A and B are shown apart, each in its own frame.
Chain A
Amino acid sequence: MFDERSPIYQQIADQIKNDIVSGELKEEQQVMSTNQYAAFYRINPATAAKGFQLLTEEGILYKKRGIGMFVSMEARDKLLQARRERFFEEVVEPMVEEADRIGVPLADIMKHIEKRKGQQS
């Protein structure tokens, strides 16, 4: 569920984003209400609402009056775009640093990736 590592509303927002990226939550699909969310995760509804508000501000969710919150049409593209931008900084850089630290030559990494590519196609 939630850890103590960051504010809960942030974790709620991240969870919903992950569900959108993985396709579990589709565009134009309704998400749980803040009260459902609060009851399910045993958190204060104001905290859940804060997470939802964050997603609304980022254009990931939008509100249909009197009905609930829905996933925006362009939500997934937006999230993928943002993750691609951070991919090299957050995934590749730390990997290269670790490889350097433990003495794995970059050529080996390239070879490994090529091999995987071969298996996939």
Chain B
Amino acid sequence: MTLSIEVKDVTVRYGKTTAVDRISFHLEGGKIYGLLGRNGSGKTSLLSVLASFQPQAEGEVRIGGEAPFENAAVTSQVCFIQENGHLSDGYSVKDGLKLAALCMPYWDSPYADRLIELFGLPLKKRISELSRGMKSALGVTIGLASRAPVTIFDEAYLGMDAPSRYAFYEELLKDYMEQPRTFILSTHLIEEVSNLFEEVLILDQGKLLLHKETELLREHGVSVTGPAAKIDEFKLGLNVLGEQQLGGIKSITAYGELGPERASRARAEGLELGPVPLQDLFVHLTKRGGSAS
């Protein structure tokens, strides 16, 4: 089962601080989404509203057509895993998993067992005694085994070492293909996971900067390099995100489609066109003063 998510003009405030500022988007069910943003951009606030951990100050949220806050029919469909989990530290790993199983209507016990083995989770240890990596692995295990129609990982896997993270990515994909559902992963390790995302949303200072198919976004950035004077002329009318100059050579990063006419002009003038890695695009778009239009 998959559920769509509708967010309309949602605002989240903490006292006088606005963490999420009138955000709207629609997420179709059954896709893997990446939520990107710098620290303090509002990712966790937004996700905790989706997970009904807190209400929004303004706006509407609909999951599968229903408002989730204090609505058990909806909240039971959503599993929210955070890095510094809300797992009860006093429990043993085994009891923590038992508790999760009780709360999650689609819990898959044999699958949980396989994940416990994969990540080498020590069942008898107290959760408070686990290393950061093991705590993350426990969170990831609960998230995957929950088989919840909407599963959200809020930087939940960042504490894991690289081999465990890759094992997680593989499991996530495998399980997603077997049991399609909606996943939202927030991260700043873009390079590593961007290939998993069908669509990405970028938050910046509480606002939604963009929401695009990952592959389209990849095609949206372009770097142009050549003699400074030629570049300065060429860049007119482009949405330039960044510039770098070394001696007489200049390189710009632009956002938006170049179009065949401009591209052939660039080639005719001997300018070098190149792609922009997603991570770079993200850095340029979210630095102060960056904008996507």
Contact = CB atoms under 8 A, between A and B. Distances in A.
Q: Is the interface of B mostly helix, strand, loop or mixed?
A: helix
B215 A50 contact: yes
A42 B191 CA distance: 13
A39 B175 CA distance: 10
Residues of B in contact with A, size category = 20 to 34
Contacts, number: 51
Contacts of A47: 195, 198, 214-215
- Interface of A: prevailing SS: helix
Nearest to A50: B215
Interface in A32-89: 35, 38-39, 41-47, 50
Interface residues of A, number: 18
B195 A43 contact: yes
B120 interface: no
B275 A4 contact: yes
A46 B177 contact: no
Given A38-B173, A39-B173, A44 B214 contact: yes
A2 B275 contact: no
Interface in A17-43: 35, 38-39, 41-43
B31 interface: yes
A44 B218 contact: no
Contacts of A38: 173, 177
B278 interface: yes
A41 B166 CA distance: 12
A5 interface: yes
B15 to A, nearest CB: 39
Given A5-B275, A38-B173, 5 more contacts: A4-B275, A42-B169, A44-B32, A45-B177, A46-B198
Interface of B: 31-32, 166, 169-170, 173-174, 176-177, 191, 195-198, 214-215, 218-219, 274-275, 277-278
Interface of A: 2, 4-9, 35, 38-39, 41-47, 50
